[in-house]
A and B are shown apart, each in its own frame.
Chain A
Amino acid sequence: MANLTLFTFCAGTTTLHRLDVRHKTALVCMVSLALFTSGFAGCLACFLVLSLLTRTIGISLPQLLGQLKWFILLLGIMFAARALTIPGDPVFSFSGIVATKEGLAQGALVAMRFFLVMMTGLLFSATTRPADLKSAAQWFLKPVPFVPEKQVAIMISLFLRFLPLILSQAGQTADAVNARCGNLHKNPIRRIRCQTLPVLKKTFMAADRLCLAMDARCYSEDRTDLEFETGGRNTLSMAAGTGLCLLMVGLSHSSFFKMIFW
């Protein structure tokens, strides 16, 4: 789990792993929409369920927070920006900077929603194999006219393989540049140029090599599709997911919880 990233698949046999990826996609859409309309109480309910699911697939909350630390930092900045810019009743002020009650509340809600969306996405990618995702994309796009669903599905699976490649190329280039004291350049534009252009060049060359490798292996669009997982657990999970979404929306619109959280 040490190398967990937002796109790493973690092998496992949990219900989330075995769930039909089409149902999982529908669940992600539902939770995402419910979060969009939820208040604090709804978000809290969602957080509890997602934390439990994250724990079930073998990722502890500290590990998750560790992996998302840069995103959490961004959420912190987002929270501060809202707290300090939205007008309302002042809560505290420091050197002329005023944080308002409305700003703090709205900032916390937005940061919480973003964090939960990230958690949902991480759960989805940690429990879904790229091959399953490819099959699901193909299945969803099959009825859409003029869309080459097999090509799109291959592009999705290739995209998932390119992400770690770009990140590793960036790391290698940074090491090489630093070894040549490139990080000591005073001109920031030159520093960025030294980093970015080699990464992009190397990535495009790697893409070209991938084309040759695929050609050498007679890669074609007509491949045997994966069978989707079926069974009662899909229906049960959909029911549980719908229940959670209704609970989130219900809690957020209940006057009792509104009174507590506001």
Chain B
Amino acid sequence: METLSHLGHGFSVAFSPMNLLWCLVGTTLGTAIGVLPGLGPALTIALLLPITYQVAPEASFILFAGIYYGAMYGGSTTSILLNTPGESATIVTALEGNRMARSGRGGAALATSAIGSFVAGTIGTLGVAFLAPVVVKFALAFGPAEYFSLMVLAFITVSAVLGSSSVRGLTSLFIGFVIGMIGVDLQTGQPRFTFGMNELLDGVDVIIAAVGLFAVGETLYMASRRYAGKDEIVPLKGSLYMTAAEWGRSWKPWLRGALIGFPIGAMPAGGAEIPTFLSYAIEKKLSKHKEEFGTVGAIEGVAGPEAANNASAAGVLVPMLTLGLPTSATAAIMLSAFQSYGINPGPLLLTTQADLVWGLIASLFIANVILVILNLPLIGLWVRLLKIPAPQLYAGILVFATVGTYGISQSPIDLIILYLLGAAGFLMRRFDFPTAPVIIGMILGPLAETQFRRAMTISNGDWSVFYTHKLSLVLLILAFIGLAGPHIWAFIEHRRRRGPEHVPGDA
């Protein structure tokens, strides 16, 4: 096995004491920046580039690997505890994770997220080491038509987060479309929904929207309900870590999440968000504890998406290392770091720089181990965040949100957007509109539009591309099954029962 010997060599590179230290520094730093909304791994690596020029390429890539994986871990911590996602890939984690935290199972949510990230990260990294050439072939088969069909499939999953009423859920989704369309239209360069403001030409950052809707909206809602005594946070109920039952409910979602996340992450336009939506939807469909979703928080809804986002983070490295294709901001920055060392990233990277590439892959494994070792004992500490009295906790979250939104961009417009979305989040909470579909609409809407229009431009207006391309057809059929199947079933069920369509508080 050639791969194994390469990998062995990679470990021998990564296992030097100095490189292990770099890995530790990277994972710690990555966790810290993952926690902060607005500051992601791409930005951090870009900022650290000048410092890392002074060290050997191996060491700096080991540092980057640590930052990259660490950010994914850190992002979920704040999603779960504070309902303030630090990365767009951890927005879905907040849905169930924060519910769990409020009902005293924050420790278990953090544990399943850390262990799930470890499992999925390891599977993903194994995938990078052994399957990269196969996966990349599959990923390149995806053209605009296939992506559009994938988006259609992803839209079907939205039904899983629409909440108790499809009218209000769809309203949220459409609001998301509108926010997502703000900015310059990529296909024609025309400004849309910008009200003539240059600051809006680049659109609204999805993280700002998520923090506004979830965290700021929540804060306003809690303030308005100060004397009602609703939604008291239970810091801890039962064991700090996962119980046997929770283990039993977690392991399958981890594996499924990893299997969804890795290939989609490897697709040039796949991203880390879509696999988390898909995983969430699948776990909700398969769960035997559907009543826990959206109420006390279902552990499957944390385990699956967390595994998916970490596996997709590994998947992104596939086109980067095999073809030199940067398919995410972080990959682009890492590639430019290669260049600054005089190493040309490209299809020949694996052969000309075997040491470096395998050292990087080995350090991804090590980073994963370090992260799980680092994070599990910290859970006890993190959970104590929930014991902070409400006034200081909410005030702290707002300071935090300011750092993330204003800190990087220095733009008061971003703060205004954050607060306006906070106000919207408050109203939505008050009038029982789900907020998650807004975020999903923001991410999927523009992607679907872009891919659809691209497909139509390339095909010269021929609609048949969506069903003559085999892969696209398969995805559309899957989407149709996903859409029609449960609805027909629900319709029959509804006719049979004629029960109330919506029972508030039960949603």
A and B from one assembly? Answer: no
Which A residues are within 8 Å of any B CB, using their own CB? Answer: none
Which B residues are within 8 Å of any A CB, using their own CB? Answer: none
